[in-house]
Structure formats: C-alpha cells, structure tokens
Amino acid sequence: MSSAAAESGLLFGTALCISDLLSQPRTRAILRDCSIVTPEYELKWDAVYRNPGCPDYSAADDLASFASNNNLAIHGHTLWWHEAVPPALPTSPENQFQEAALNHLRETVTRYSGQLHSWDVVNEPLESADGRADGLRETCFLAAFGPDYIEIAFRQASLLDPGAVLVLNEMGLEYDSPAAERKRRQMLALLEREKTKGTPIACLGIQSHLTALEQPRRHPEFRAFLREVRALGLSVMITEMDVSDHLCPRNRSMRDTIVADTYRAYLDLVLEEAKVLAVSTWGLSDDRTWLNSFRPRSDGARQRSLLLDRAIRKKPAWHAVRGALLNKDKQEPGPGKAPQ
Ligand code: 9MR
C-alpha cells in the first residue's frame, strides 16, 4: 500500500496505539502498508497529563522510536482539541488556562521538534450549532484567547518546529447535508481570514469518517470546496478515514463490496481535486475500529469498516484504496481542475 501511495507521491498510513505493537500480525501489517503513523491517543494533552502536574510522554516516545526505527513518518495528533483537555485542569480564570495551554503546546512541540512530518495543531474548531456567525466552536480555547486562538497556536508551533507541516484538522467537511455545506463555507471563510493574517496553516486535515450508503459518489459541493481549498494554496491530508457500515445489509460480502466502493469513490474524488500529502485510516484492521461503540449496528454484527479484517487479512477495501492511490495521476482532469 505504501509503495502504491509513493508512486503517486503520497504517504499512506494509519492511526495506532502503543498496544497495537504488542500484536505481531498487526505490527507486520503496519510495516507492510504504512509510510506514516498517527498516535491515536498518546500525544493528546489529557493522555500526557493523566497525572496532574506530572507530564508523561513515555508512550508517545515509544511510538516515536518505533516510527523512527522503521523509517515511518509521524503525524502528530493533536495539540489543541477541546475534547483532550485534562479534566482536572481549571478552565478559569482564563489566564491560568491560557498559560497551561501554551505550556503544553510549547513543551510538546519542542520535545518532538524536527522529528514529525506534521501536526494537527488545532482539531475540530467549527460547530455551527453553537450559533456564532464565524462558526467557531465554543471551547475553552476560544473562551480563554478569543477568536485569535487558532493564529496563536499555529504561530507558536511554527516557531518551535518550522519544518513540520501544520494542519488544521476538521470533521464532517465531507458529509452531504445542509449542515455540512454550512461548515464547508465557514471553513473557507476561516481559512481566508487566517491567510489574510498570515497564520502559518499549510494544510487542511479532512478527517473523513464516512458512512457507506450515505456518502454520495458524486458530491459537487464537496468537489467545489476542495478546489477552493486548493486555490487558497493549501494542501490536504486525509487524516482519519474509515467507513461505517451500520446502514449496510448484514451479508458480509455485500457489506465488504459497499464499503470498498465507498472508499474508492471518495478517494478518487479527493485525489482528483486536492493536493493530497497523505492518506491515513483510523486503524488498519476491523478489530481496532472505534465505530462499534460510536455507530453500533442494529443487528449486533461487528463493523467491517477498515481495510483488513479481524484476522488481519486484506479485504476488498484494501484493494479499493490501493487502486485509488495507483490511479491518482491517471484520472481525467475534472472541469476547472486547478493546475498541478
Ligand atoms: O479513537 C480515539 C479514541 O481512542 C479516544 O479515546 C478518543 C478521545 O481521545 O479519540 C478518538 O479519536 C478521535 C480523534 O482524536 C479526533 N477525531 C475523532 C476520533 C474518533 O472519536
């Protein structure tokens, strides 16, 4: 898989946890398929500060050593995310939270400076249901720093690790709904605002948690969005791709076909329109998906949402993703496609 990606000038990878490396078949699959890995949990603020006042980077360090010993790039996930704030941390007074958030960012970026391919500097900044005109999610970062918090985080990260690709990562940009279209417009407005201020955002992370039978094959609004992102001079990373099969029939081979087809159609579209640096799935094998708890199937069957099955065997989805990666530069340019 990673060689197929490399042929098209991309990295391919997965999210992983330190415990994945206890399984030899899983480790072998990671080494066979990946050129980039994303710590699923170990770098998050609450993971590092499980014991208040006493940061513990040992699990993240172990993953970083595994990656560097095996020549894998690392995507750092994630510096400022409202869901990863240590629970014991007081979010007020604001200046105390500011200091803690900046300390965490500086300490983490400095520790791994020069070692990472990229950083999700800010994760999931938009939530239109929060009702702000700019679409920003009401988080403790927004409360403490105001709407400039994104600029502050990116400037700090850029100063401390100038070689890393700095990514603004978001969920739900790829969905097909009026709310998703609103989010795409708000994201473009945000990126334009930050560009005007000179905020060093290099790349948009599109999480890509897809749902089979819901994700459209043709998706003109999303296609147009990707073109606008490209026109702003930004690259794209597909950061957390998986396909929930909770709407699919139970029959395994039918499910596998529909899931594979969902991956293929989605990747064909994104690879055609965006300047994609890397494609990562959120786990590699079906025993490691978060979707069994987040989107359980009503018939009780386990999700088959990733590229390998529970026995770490390749599924049609694996071949579909590989096909899309290999096909990248063989596609007909879409109408109005931005020049390479
Ligand atoms: O898969 C991750 C799970 O193991 C963690 O408990 C959870 C909270 O830290 O985060 C999950 O990953 C999320 C990612 O960090 C951001 N996008 C949504 C992912 C799935 O919830």
Full DSSP string of 281-320: ES-SBGGG-THHHHS--TT-PPP--SSB-TTS-B-HHHHH
Confidence at residue 338, expressed as pLDDT on a 0 to 100 scale: 41
pLDDT confidence bin for 91, thresholds 50/70/90: confident
Peptide bond into 93 cis (omega under 30): yes
168 within ligand 1 shell (Cβ under 6 A): no
Q: Are 116 and 76 in contact (CB under 8 A)?
A: yes
Where do the domains of the chain lie?
Answer: 2-330
57 within ligand 1 shell (Cβ under 6 A): no
Looking at the predicted structure, is the pLDDT value of residue 125 above 90?
A: yes
Sequence-distant (6+) residues with CB within 8 A of 155 are 199, 200
CA distance 50 to 61: 16
The tens digit of pLDDT for each residue in 192-232 reads: 999 999 999 999 999 999 999 999 999 999 999 999 999 99
Cα(83) to ligand 1 centroid in Å equals 9
Cα(131) to ligand 1 centroid in Å equals 24
Cα(77) to ligand 1 centroid in Å equals 10
Q: Where is average pLDDT lowest: 58-62, 87-91, 166-170, 295-299?
A: 87-91
Per DSSP, the three-state class of 55 is: coil
pLDDT confidence bin for 53, thresholds 50/70/90: confident
Q: Which atom of ligand 1 is nearest to the CA of 17?
A: 4
Q: Which residue's alpha carbon is nearest to atom 12 within ligand 1? A: 40
Q: Are 244 and 211 in contact (CB under 8 A)?
A: yes
Looking at the predicted structure, is the pLDDT value of residue 99 above 80?
A: yes
44 within ligand 1 shell (Cβ under 6 A): yes
Cα(42) to ligand 1 centroid in Å equals 11
The superfamily (CATH) of domain 2-330 is: Glycosidases (3.20.20.80)
CA distance 18 to 182: 37
Query: What percent of the chain is modeled with pLDDT above 90?
Result: 91
Cα(15) to ligand 1 centroid in Å equals 10
Q: Which atom of ligand 1 is nearest to the CA of 123?
A: 16
Cα(105) to ligand 1 centroid in Å equals 19
Q: Which residue's alpha carbon is nearest to atom 14 within ligand 1? A: 40
Confidence at residue 330, expressed as pLDDT on a 0 to 100 scale: 65
47-83 residues labelled b (16+ CB within 10 A) or e (exposed): bbbeeeeebebebbeebbebbeeeebbbbbbbbbbbe
pLDDT confidence bin for 334, thresholds 50/70/90: very low
Confidence at residue 268, expressed as pLDDT on a 0 to 100 scale: 97
Substitution candidate for ligand 1 out of 17, 37, 41 with most atoms within 8 A of CB = 41
Cα(38) to ligand 1 centroid in Å equals 11
Cα(329) to ligand 1 centroid in Å equals 32
Looking at the predicted structure, is the pLDDT value of residue 52 above 90?
A: no
Looking at the predicted structure, is the pLDDT value of residue 333 above 60?
A: no
Q: Are 40 and 306 in contact (CB under 8 A)?
A: no
CA distance 191 to 184: 10
Cα(40) to ligand 1 centroid in Å equals 7
Sequence-distant (6+) residues with CB within 8 A of 248 are 212, 213, 254, 255, 258, 259
Q: Which atom of ligand 1 is nearest to the CA of 46?
A: 9
Substitution candidate for ligand 1 out of 45, 209, 290 with most atoms within 8 A of CB = 290
Looking at the predicted structure, is the pLDDT value of residue 92 above 90?
A: no
